[in-house]
Amino acid sequence: MALAHILGVPRIGPNRELKFAQEACWRGEIDEAALQAVGSGIRQANWQRQHAAGLAFVTVGDFAFYDQMLNHVALLGCAPARFGFGATVGLREYFELARGNAACHAMEMTKWFDTNYHYLVPELRPDTGFSLGTDWLFDEVTEAQTAGFVPKPVLIGPLSFLWLAKEKTAGFDRLDLLDRLLPVYAQILARLKAQGVEWVQIDEPILALDLPAPWRAAFERAYHHLNAAGLKLLLASYFGPLRENLLVALKLPVAGVHVDCVRGGDELAQVVDWLPATKVLSAGVIDGRNIWKTDLAAVLDRFEGLHRRLGDRLWLAPSCSLLHVPVSLASETRLDPELRTWLAFADEKIVALATLKTAFNAGRHAVARELADNAQALASRRASPRVHDAAVGARVAALTPAHDVRNSPFAVRQAAQRARFRLPAFPTTTIGSFPQTAEIRSARARYRKDQLSEAGYAAAMQREIAHAVARQEALGLDVLVHGEAERNDMVEYFGEQLAGFAFSQTGWVQSYGSRCVKPPIIYGDVSRPHPMTVGWTVYAQSLTARPMKGMLTGPVTMLQWSFVRDDQPRAATALQIALAIRDEVADLEAAGIGIIQIDEPAYREGLPLRRADWPAYLDWASRAFRISASGVDDATQIHTHMCYSEFNDILPAIAAMDADVITIETSRSDMELLRGFGDFSYPNEIGPGVYDIHSPRVPSTAEMTRLLDKAVEVIAPEKLWVNPDCGLKTRGWPETEAALSNMVEAAQRLRQQHGDRAAAGAESGVLA
């Protein structure tokens, strides 16, 4: 008898109940008890669903009022000492750790592996102590038992916990804290055992990463220690193949191992070979990272033999926690009905898991109808003309090496562009968006609800554009933008106009805390039926004699922030998007727009988890960008923009994009991020952000001048642009104008100091 279980479910609730309750609690509109009641309701509903589907357990410990890593900080009694909270925190302190308070800034947040979920980073010091802290996990176990369920608690394993944490002082190694941490894990396990728990799932997702030898070696010691508690431990790895960590994982003294058979499917045979005869194998057969229906017959074909061999030692599961997919398709009434049949959100994945379990245990005939429906949905998806557009295929097939190189090398383009635009030295610009005011948002909302006509909406947006252009001229900026008033979101805006993209109504996924995102669904071949930005940009250009930058989102970012097709490689989808952007670039150029920015803020976050896989990714990612950008004349200037990134280890791949100008976020690192560009001798022009747009604080001219002085130390002055870190859509106008005015003044000071390159360029005569 194969068992079925899940590693975790979304905790936001089907209608984002958790978000609304959290935010109401933070505003003081509801008390903690009311928030607790919402949390309990979400947990009960989740468990009920797992129970109803016939899963062997309900998973407990996947719920969190903010973040699962922060729950572990509370559980392990290691809240950063700077908050002064002691070993046990309550909900109020917990939220202060996440969001900061008057005296302490919030804990840092960073991306959870290669997902778009962000966790709070535990802070470690040589003297960090651990102890049994907050009781929530144990309370939830009791809560599940009281409701009549069999709980399988889930913990983040000690090695992943330490790996994902950060050393807050130099000169010590957080792995040294393991010996202090293990006894607390042992205490947790002992307490769970006393509560009558049989199985505990311990997640060690770092097994899918390149690990230094001491970390790999530490696994055995750690799990010997934990095994002594006498509970059955299921060691869960996910998000990728185990590779050189495979033996480490399979030889650990635990009762079972979960592996990701979606991303790590190639090594299944090896896993089975090495699986000790007593261990359970939990096979992650349903993709927990994407929203497509699983091919149930294919899973049965692949695993039936194994099931005969392993019997009840084979467990079935999604590949990872379902945290990364939306809750339910139930309320999707507006999705195209055919497309809807191809999808499975968390609830539907749980049902599919139950179907698989029955098929394994009672034979395929026992779920013949479910299997037939599944096969039909998959067949319709494979054959659908909605998915396959022969013209797109032909265009991709016809791509030649000439499509992803500009006509001339950078030096020639640079000369042509200088002759054309005659910008001063240290040209000033912004990253694209200007404040999204309440009026803008209300106009968009009314337009969407048909309360504002198309013409009324266009007029409102034109007024915003005219306002932004007038403000920029008054400030004396050199390269202007139209302000992106008409854009709700930098991916959605384009996705809504491209063929091959669909949008759910309630497909929310937690990003961090109470923040959720609703990623577009790329289901078919991508093409661009009509221009997407030309009208707004040309209107903006008509209002000014200064160059107006066209603003686009790049192919890698569109891919990275969407649910992507699983029936072709990501690279293939990226190429299709790149061609659609290329069309838009061509139309902008033809309409007289001489400077075009293609944003790629997600370029770095697309990096695979394993370094060995980086070159292949960077190769297709940079090619996709170049395909989108290379169809233009030498005198058309291509910009790109990236933010919140460590760039140093991918500089060659950034240079390989061959944008004429790149703007990056550097102010918060005090220009340290720029140093790498200098050391690498980054060949093209570069605009290091001189002020942080994440705060309403207005930096002084002196501050920005100091940052620019630092920039001049590492980058030749004639290559430097002056701009903020990122777009200004979350800011208000008053602070935006004040900051930009100081920024323009800083650029003027630099010009006085270093001379004006436009004059120099004109005199040199290269350009005539």
**Phi, psi at 755, each rounded to 5°:** 85, 170
What is the SS3 assignment for 683?
Answer: coil
d(Cα 711, Cα 720) in Å, to the nearest integer? 8
Residue 432 binding result from Zn ion, ligand GLN, none, given CB thresholds of 5 to 8 Å by partner type: ligand GLN
Q: 671-710 mask for ligand GLN (x: CB under 6 A)?
A: ----------------------------------------
Stretch that binds ligand GLN, among 79-87, 326-334, 427-435, 450-458 (CB under 6 A): 427-435
Please tell me whether residue 641 binds ligand GLN under the rule CB under 6 A. yes
**Cβ closest to Zn ion, residue 643 vs residue 720:** 643
CA-based end-to-end distance of the chain: 80
Residue closest to ligand GLN when measured from CB atoms: 727
Please calculate the CA angle 591-592-593 and round it to the nearest 5 degrees: 100
Please tell me whether residue 477 binds ligand GLN under the rule CB under 6 A. no
Stretch that binds Zn ion, among 6-14, 296-304, 552-560, 641-649 (CB under 5 A): 641-649
**Cβ closest to ligand GLN, residue 60 vs residue 690:** 690
Q: 670-709 mask for Zn ion (x: CB under 5 A)?
A: ----------------------------------------
Q: Which of 25, 726, 728, 747 binds Zn ion (CB under 5 A)?
A: 726
Please tell me whether residue 482 binds ligand GLN under the rule CB under 6 A. no
With tokens 């017959």, the residue in question is 297
Supply the angle between the helices 136-146 and 32-52 in degrees, to the nearest 10: 50
Q: Which of 168, 395, 565, 729 binds ligand GLN (CB under 6 A)?
A: 729
**Cβ closest to ligand GLN, residue 96 vs residue 599:** 599
**Cβ closest to ligand GLN, residue 334 vs residue 441:** 441
**Cβ closest to ligand GLN, residue 490 vs residue 711:** 490
List the catalytic residue out of 51, 403, 694, 754.
694
**Cβ closest to ligand GLN, residue 432 vs residue 699:** 432
Q: How many helices (H) and strands (E) does the chain have?
A: 28, 22
Question: CB of 600: closest distance to ligand GLN in angstroms?
Answer: 8
**Cβ closest to ligand GLN, residue 225 vs residue 641:** 641
Residue 657 binding result from ligand GLN, Zn ion, none, given CB thresholds of 5 to 8 Å by partner type: none
What is the SS3 assignment for 411?
Answer: helix
Question: What is the DSSP pairing of strand 199-203 with strand 151-156?
Answer: parallel
* Greatest extent of the chain over all pairs of C-alpha atoms, in Å: 84
Supply the angle between the helices 17-26 and 32-52 in degrees, to the nearest 10: 170
Question: What is the DSSP pairing of strand 661-664 with strand 637-642?
Answer: parallel
Stretch that binds Zn ion, among 39-47, 78-86, 640-648, 729-737 (CB under 5 A): 640-648
Contacts 24+ apart (CB under 8 A), 245-250: 245/207, 245/208, 245/211, 245/216, 246/270, 246/271, 246/274, 247/274, 248/207, 248/216, 248/219, 248/220, 249/204, 249/207, 249/219, 250/274, 250/275, 250/276, 250/279
Non-local (6+) Cβ contacts of 570 within 8 A are 559, 564, 620
Please tell me whether residue 574 binds Zn ion under the rule CB under 5 A. no
Burial of residue 454 (CB within 10 Å: 0-12, 13-18, 19+) is exposed
Question: CB of 597: closest distance to ligand GLN in angstroms?
Answer: 7
Q: Where are the beta strands (DSSP E) in 507-607?
A: 509-512, 515-517, 521-527, 548-553, 595-599
CB 477 within 8 A of CB 740: yes
Torsion of CA 402, 403, 404, 409, to 10 degrees: 50
Question: CB of 575: closest distance to Zn ion in angstroms?
Answer: 24
Nearest CA to 689 out of 422, 424, 414, 428 is that of 428
Stretch that binds Zn ion, among 246-254, 339-347, 637-645, 753-761 (CB under 5 A): 637-645
Please tell me whether residue 643 binds Zn ion under the rule CB under 5 A. yes
What b/e string do you get for 431-452 counting C-beta neighbours within 10 Å, with b at 16 or more?
Answer: bbbbbbeeebeebbeebeeeeb
Please tell me whether residue 726 binds ligand GLN under the rule CB under 6 A. yes
Please tell me whether residue 433 binds ligand GLN under the rule CB under 6 A. yes
Stretch that binds ligand GLN, among 351-359, 426-434, 615-623, 731-739 (CB under 6 A): 426-434
Non-local (6+) Cβ contacts of 192 within 8 A are 137, 138, 141, 153, 200, 231
Residue 532 binding result from ligand GLN, Zn ion, none, given CB thresholds of 5 to 8 Å by partner type: none
Please tell me whether residue 570 binds ligand GLN under the rule CB under 6 A. no
Q: Which of 490, 521, 540, 580 binds ligand GLN (CB under 6 A)?
A: 490
Site for Zn ion in 589-608 (CB under 5 A): 601
**694 in active site:** yes
Please tell me whether residue 167 binds ligand GLN under the rule CB under 6 A. no
What is the SS3 assignment for 761?
Answer: helix
Bridge partners (DSSP) listed for residue 199: 232
Residue 551 binding result from ligand GLN, Zn ion, none, given CB thresholds of 5 to 8 Å by partner type: ligand GLN
Q: 592-621 mask for ligand GLN (x: CB under 6 A)?
A: -------x-x--------------------
Q: Which of 306, 461, 551, 593 binds ligand GLN (CB under 6 A)?
A: 551
Please tell me whether residue 279 binds ligand GLN under the rule CB under 6 A. no
**Cβ closest to ligand GLN, residue 348 vs residue 725:** 725
The dihedral sign for the CA sequence 556, 557, 558, 564: positive
Please tell me whether residue 440 binds ligand GLN under the rule CB under 6 A. no
Question: CB of 624: closest distance to ligand GLN in angstroms?
Answer: 17
Non-local (6+) Cβ contacts of 502 within 8 A are 335, 336, 339, 520, 521, 523
Supply the angle between the helices 346-362 and 32-52 in degrees, to the nearest 10: 30
Chain contacts with ligand GLN (rule: CB under 6 A): 431-433, 484, 490, 551, 599, 601, 641, 643, 726-727, 729
Active centre residues (catalytic): 694
Chain contacts with Zn ion (rule: CB under 5 A): 601, 643, 726
